[in-house]
């Protein structure tokens, strides 16, 4: 098979996936954009915040919950100090003295253990998990509870946005997070959600307890518990209006480490629940969503990099042929073709057309995501750069992830 044909196949798969999201969104536009806003029956909610060395963030997280417009007698805040060695515990004591939160101290045992400890003490019908570097809007909890229907629902996730975006890297991540809100809301309608992000998700506490709580030895316990819920037939919903704001990595190094953990956690858990893939029992989730996730990981990303490398090679080779034909020598550098001329010389319809279609559809998804989340349409260039630069970088991290797994490098938080 020639690489030209491979490029068309990859582009066809990418186009198919993008069109599925776009068509699903447009068909279910009314449902996706309109959620139950009125809270008629405020359930008792316990929010657990595991904290390890979170002196810079914990105060903002707790204050945002205290400032919620949810009934105070129906909201329990549990902070688990997971063996912090900074000022986290001292900061929390002022809330304890005012009886605003319940503080649990434990030796450092990890996030899963901290959540299970909180689960034992929780009084709520719903059990929420919130990261210490996250803040919520005043109506976030109310919106999540209002949409927690039917009562046997397994979980509902909030709509996550980056907090205080400043740098270009953070803005790229914002594009990614907005796309995730759109994707999860479409997946909500398709009943294919399989993750409950730690930024803020609410669980049915009875169901969570019956399933044994959180896996204390898993590097992505939020993904594991979500797949466990789905494997037992419980649905997971997503909100597109209950916003939470989380601190995102500010450097490439921190982003690399975060995504390596996320990616390796995905591989660890998808292997554990591999029996769900292509299993008719799990309907669209097993037959489509998990299958597409695997195809993207093991086929689309590696092949996509091969495609980009090939296109780059063909372009550079065209430059070489041009310079060779005109007898290029250093003194003649002034006669180098302009970028437009070089592009026309190297243009290959078979290579660039499928790429252009894929990029256009990706851009359309970003536009729909911005509309859904009430974000500005001003950053068109930023969105295009995110597609051209940021997402290939995430693909490179996936290749590194696969290498880490092949070399059996120890998984860690």
Tell me, what's the pLDDT at 297? 78
3-state secondary structure 41-62: CCCCEEEEEEECCCCCCHHHHH
Shared domain for 281 and 314, answered yes or no, is no
Tell me, what's the pLDDT at 39? 85
Distance between CA atoms of residues 329 and 150, nearest Å = 74
- H/E run at residue 77: strand 75-82
Is 40 part of any domain? Answer: no
Tokens, residue 210 = 């019956």
Tell me, what's the pLDDT at 9? 77
Report helix, strand or coil for 87: coil
- H/E run at residue 89: helix 88-97
Is 362 part of any domain? Answer: yes
Tell me, what's the pLDDT at 334? 42
Shared domain for 120 and 69, answered yes or no, is yes
Question: Where would I find the H helices in 273-300?
Answer: 283-284, 290-295
Shared domain for 351 and 383, answered yes or no, is yes
Which CATH number do you get for residue 273?
Answer: 3.90.550.10
Tell me, what's the pLDDT at 350? 64
Is 29 part of any domain? Answer: no
Tell me, what's the pLDDT at 333? 42
Shared domain for 157 and 303, answered yes or no, is no
Is 26 part of any domain? Answer: no
∠ CA(290), CA(293), CA(297), 5° rounding? Answer: 145
Residues forming a β-bridge with 82: 106
Residue 361 near residue 15 (C-beta atoms within 8 A)? yes
Residue 202 near residue 45 (C-beta atoms within 8 A)? yes
Domain residues for 208? 45-286
Shared domain for 252 and 348, answered yes or no, is no
CA atoms within 13 A on the CB side of 334: 1
Residue 199 near residue 160 (C-beta atoms within 8 A)? yes
Residue 174 near residue 210 (C-beta atoms within 8 A)? no
Residues forming a β-bridge with 203: 127, 155
In the β-sheet with 75-82, what is the strand arrangement from edge to edge?
A: 102-106, 75-82, 45-51, 126-130, 200-204, 155-162, 236-246, 134-136
Structural domains in the chain (count):
2
Shared domain for 327 and 350, answered yes or no, is yes
Tell me, what's the pLDDT at 395? 85
Is 412 part of any domain? Answer: no
Q: pLDDT below 50 — which residues of the chain?
A: 330-336
Tell me, what's the pLDDT at 3? 61
Shared domain for 234 and 351, answered yes or no, is no
Its pTM stands at: 0.89
∠ CA(286), CA(32), CA(141), 5° rounding? Answer: 95
Distance between CA atoms of residues 211 and 394, nearest Å = 33
Report helix, strand or coil for 201: strand
Shared domain for 68 and 122, answered yes or no, is yes
Is 34 part of any domain? Answer: no
Q: Which of 253, 286, 319 is at the close of a domain?
A: 286
Identify each DSSP E strand in 163-247 by its residue range. 200-204, 236-246
């Amino acid at each position: 098979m020639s690489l030209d044909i491979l490029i068309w196949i990859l582009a066809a798969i990418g186009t198919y996936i993008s069109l599925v999201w776009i068509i699903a969104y447009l068909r279910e536009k009314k449902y996706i954009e309109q959620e139950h806003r009125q809270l008629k029956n405020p359930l008792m909610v316990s929010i657990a915040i595991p904290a390890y060395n979170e002196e810079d963030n914990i105060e903002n997280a707790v204050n945002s919950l205290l400032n919620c417009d949810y009934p105070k007698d129906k909201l329990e805040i549990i902070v688990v100090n997971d063996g912090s060695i900074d000022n986290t515990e001292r900061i929390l004591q002022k809330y304890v003295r005012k009886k605003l939160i319940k503080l649990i101290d434990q030796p450092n045992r990890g996030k899963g253990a901290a959540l299970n400890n909180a689960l034992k003490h929780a009084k709520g019908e719903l059990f929420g998990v919130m990261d210490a570097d996250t803040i919520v809007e005043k109506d976030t909890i109310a919106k999540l509870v209002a949409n927690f229907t039917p009562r046997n629902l397994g979980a509902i996730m909030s709509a996550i946005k980056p907090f205080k975006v400043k740098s270009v890297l953070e803005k790229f991540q914002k594009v990614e997070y907005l796309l995730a809100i759109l994707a999860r809301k479409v997946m909500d309608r398709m009943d294919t959600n399989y993750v409950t992000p730690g930024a803020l998700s609410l669980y049915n506490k009875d169901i969570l307890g019956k399933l044994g709580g959180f896996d204390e030895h898993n590097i992505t316990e939020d993904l594991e518990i979500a797949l466990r819920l789905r494997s037992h037939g419980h649905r997971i919903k997503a909100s597109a209006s209950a916003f939470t704001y989380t601190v995102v990595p500010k450097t490439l190094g921190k982003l690399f480490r975060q995504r390596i953990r996320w990616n390796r956690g995905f591989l660890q858990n998808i292997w554990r629940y591999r029996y769900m893939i292509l299993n008719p029992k799990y309907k669209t989730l097993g037959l489509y969503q998990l299958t597409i996730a695997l195809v993207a990981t093991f086929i689309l990303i590696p092949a996509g990099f091969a495609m980009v490398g090939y296109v780059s090679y063909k372009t550079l080779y065209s430059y070489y042929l041009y310079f060779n034909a005109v007898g290029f020598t250093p003194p003649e550098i002034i006669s180098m073709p302009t970028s437009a001329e070089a592009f026309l010389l190297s243009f290959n319809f078979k290579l660039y057309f499928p790429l252009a279609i894929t990029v256009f559809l990706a851009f359309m998804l970003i536009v729909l995501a911005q509309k859904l989340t009430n974000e500005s349409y001003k950053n068109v260039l930023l969105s295009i750069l995110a597609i051209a630069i940021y997402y290939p970088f995430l693909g490179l991290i996936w290749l590194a992830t696969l290498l880490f797994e092949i070399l059996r490098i120890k998984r860690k938080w």
